Amino acid sequence: MARLVLKFGGTSVADIDRIRNVARHVKREVDAGHDVAVVVSAMSGKTNELVGWCREASAIHDAREYDTVVASGEQVTAGLLAIVLQKLGVNARSWMGWQIPLRTDGSHGAARIDAIDGTEIIRRFGEGQVAVIAGFQGLAPDNRIATLGRGGSDTSAVAVAAALQADRCDIYTDVDGVYTTDPRIEPKARRMDRISFEEMLEMASLGAKVLQVRSVELAMVHKVRTFVRSSFEDPDAPGMGDFDNPPGTLICDEDEIVEQQVVTGIAYAKDEAQISLRRVADRPGVAGAIFGPLADAGVNVDMIVQNISEDGSHTDMTFTVPASDLDKAASIIAAAKEDMGFDVVQSESGLTKVSVIGIGMRSHAGVAATAFKALAGRGINIRAITTSEIKISILIDGEFSELAVRTLHSVYGLDKARP
């Protein structure tokens, strides 16, 4: 049979009753004859509580001790799930990241995975044992626990799936798949049966909250077929145990998608801020002088638009940053005004980036024109535009966010059922 990695997020393991429900999902796959490893998050809200305790103990604290504290949430969940599985008659054993071992770099609090040795877990599959793994954590070069940053359990699960050469990594969450856009904004949003790694990576990075971006990157690099499904479905409902076509959304290589739609989905990110530098000297190195210090400070610059003056001596440089980074970015720019060589800096927050995504754009013309015309028809002004092979991102005033999402979702026919 197949080898599966199942990942359950915080809301799926929020209390003992939900852990029992998770155990039934796991047992269903075990009873079907599959080799199963499970990766779990901390109970919902527990990580925030642990982080709060660290800050209460000391506003400035050792990152290694912080990791020791916050990693304990996943340890509790792994042990509890193993206990419940054992009560159901499933041979299960909990694993901490250091026991596998899952090795990371030394960036405590935001570590990246270097290597995973799945030899012992695979050997125990031969004994019929289920591995219940604490996500979000690994072993740093200093032999101390290191955590992977927020959303790290998704990354753990995909990495474990790659190391175990799993047939699939099932991400169980509080939604039943990936939708063409946010159903809270557009009730006609549809759950997709399949989406390519590239499209999912764009949707995750542009505002969709279903999966953590690093986990999608890892899945794409290692070709880990990833399935998003709901943990709140009845584990024994018809179709839940169907290996080939369970309910949810498969994230896979685009070669597995028979009919590629021109546009797959609409993503959005609120709370964007725009910064404009006026009359910047147009000379070699000026872009580096502007964006280098921002990058060094960890400010994520996104959309960049440059307008050169008619005589070619000056340029206006406009770019976006997360609204939460606006004050930091403004102070960095003010401090480096002499090196950057601009006359005036202007900024504005409360903007939204709406993105149209689809691998079918590579072979179809007029996709951008359709978006611009549709938004104009709704009286929505476009502040900036960026494009790539499979996406168009448009910056608009925040008050038009929902209208823009619904308009674009409709104009590309995403609200219509596929045959």
Give pLDDT tens digits for 81-125: 999 999 999 999 999 999 999 999 999 999 999 999 999 999 999
- What is the average per-residue pLDDT within 70-90? 97
10 is in an annotated binding site: yes
Question: Within this chain, do residues 18 and 150 fall inside the same structural domain, yes or no?
Answer: yes
State residue 109's pLDDT score: 92
Is 172 annotated to bind a ligand? Reply is no
- End position of a domain, from candidates 225, 255, 285: 255
Looking at the predicted structure, is the pLDDT value of residue 131 above 60?
A: yes
Residue 388 pLDDT more than 70?
A: yes
Q: Are residues 240 and 382 in the same domain?
A: no
* pLDDT band with cut points at 50, 70 and 90 for residue 396: very high
Residue 179 labelled as part of a binding site: yes
Residues 290 and 248 in one domain: no
Does 226 appear as a known binding residue?
Answer: no
Give the lowest-confidence range in 190-204, 258-272, 306-320, 328-342. 306-320
Please tell me whether residue 4 adopts helix, strand or coil conformation. Answer: strand
Q: Are residues 297 and 239 in the same domain?
A: no
Residue 241: burial class (beta carbons within 10 Å; 0-12, 13-18, 19+): middle
- Residues in contact with 164: Cβ distance below 8 Å, sequence separation at least 6, in sequence order: 3, 5, 37, 118, 121, 122
322 with 374, same domain?
A: yes
**Mean pLDDT value across residues 330-334:** 89
Residues 170 and 317 grouped into a single domain: no
Burial tier of 278 (Cβ tally within 10 Å: 0-12, 13-18, 19+): middle
Mean pLDDT of the chain: 91
> Known binder of ligand: residue 285?
no
Q: How far apart are CA 56 and CA 412, in angstroms?
A: 50
> Domain check: are 216 and 285 in the same one?
no
For residues 404 and 282, membership in a common domain is answered with: yes
Q: Whole-model pTM?
A: 0.87
| CA 124-127-133 angle, 5° bins | 35
- 184 labeled binding residue: yes
Residue 147 assigned as binding residue? no
Query: Is residue 272 marked as binding?
Result: no
Pair of tokens at residue 316: 């206006």
**174 annotated as belonging to a binding site for a ligand:** yes
Predicted pLDDT at 158: 97
Instruction: Specify whether 276 is located in the same domain as 142.
Output: no
Rounded mean pLDDT of 177-186?
Answer: 92
Q: Residue 88 sits in which domain range?
A: 3-255
**Does the annotation place 126 within a ligand binding site?**
no
